A = this chain, B = another copy of it.
């Protein structure tokens, strides 16, 4: 079991390469908190924004300033940042047993109800990178506004091996 877990997870960074992607630097917290906390074999991450090279890819609300396709791209960037935080926290993505839970907050204009389709940009990338172990449960909600005027913020719970 342990062997197969490791071999599956070894693929995350390889799969990123195959997709022409790379782990970014882990984003720095925006306040007096830490990016990740381990309790037992749960790894909790702080809410993550779609920062790229230290800046939001774009700002504003889905359905007004941000299209669904842009929201999907932002959600995928959040996953890259999340994996960077995980690597920083536990040293090795091989230690990820699975993704347990995502909570996706989408800054939403009046009438925008496609939060699930937007957050799919994150969920689909997790599945591509982690296979079955990337299958998670999820809530997606529309909020009025997010830090830095970000279109999306996602927090994550992962399960890691016990060592």
Contact = CB atoms under 8 A, between A and B. Distances in A.
Chain A binding surface SS class = mixed
Interface string A143-156: 11111110001010
Contacts of A144: 108, 110, 142-144
Interface of A: 29-37, 39-42, 44-47, 98, 100-103, 105, 107-108, 110-117, 119-120, 123-124, 127, 135-149, 153, 155, 157, 159
21 contacts: A31-B117, A31-B119, A31-B120, A31-B138, A33-B137, A37-B137, A39-B41, A39-B42, A39-B98, A39-B157, A39-B159, A40-B159, A44-B137, A47-B140, A103-B139, A103-B155, A107-B142, A110-B144, A113-B146, A137-B155, A142-B144
